[in-house]
Amino acid sequence: PDLGRRFAERKRCADPECSMLMCRGKAMRDFKGPDCRFVNFKKGEAVYVYYKLIGKSTELWAGSVGSDFGYFPKDLLEINHNYSNEELELPTDVSILFFF
């Protein structure tokens, strides 16, 4: 299906609004995203995960670094704390976590 600007049709979240943190990790290397939908970070920075895309783009998670929010490749994160073991599967259009 045509997802438009969405990377996947479904995501996993800790709560129905995808507002609770799932986990925290440390960036294993620098990352600069290809566009404004991605969050940039430096090696060693703390990255907070709010949801994980599933389906077509399982390699992308969404989270924050400081006050910036966006997508990033999950393989660049070393998880060091889980906030929730519960994962709900939801459509990606259920919540919008973009800050302007």
Q: What is the pTM of this model?
A: 0.83
**Phi and psi at residue 34, to the nearest 5°:** -75, -20
The model's pLDDT over 45-80, given as tens digits with 9 standing for 90+, comes to: 999 999 999 876 668 999 999 999 999 999 999 999
Return the domain boundaries, the chain: 10-85
The model's pLDDT over 11-41, given as tens digits with 9 standing for 90+, comes to: 999 999 999 999 999 999 999 999 999 999 9
- Burial class from Cβ neighbours inside 10 Å (0-12, 13-18, 19+) for residue 77 reads buried
Domain 10-85 grouped into CATH 2.30.30.40: yes
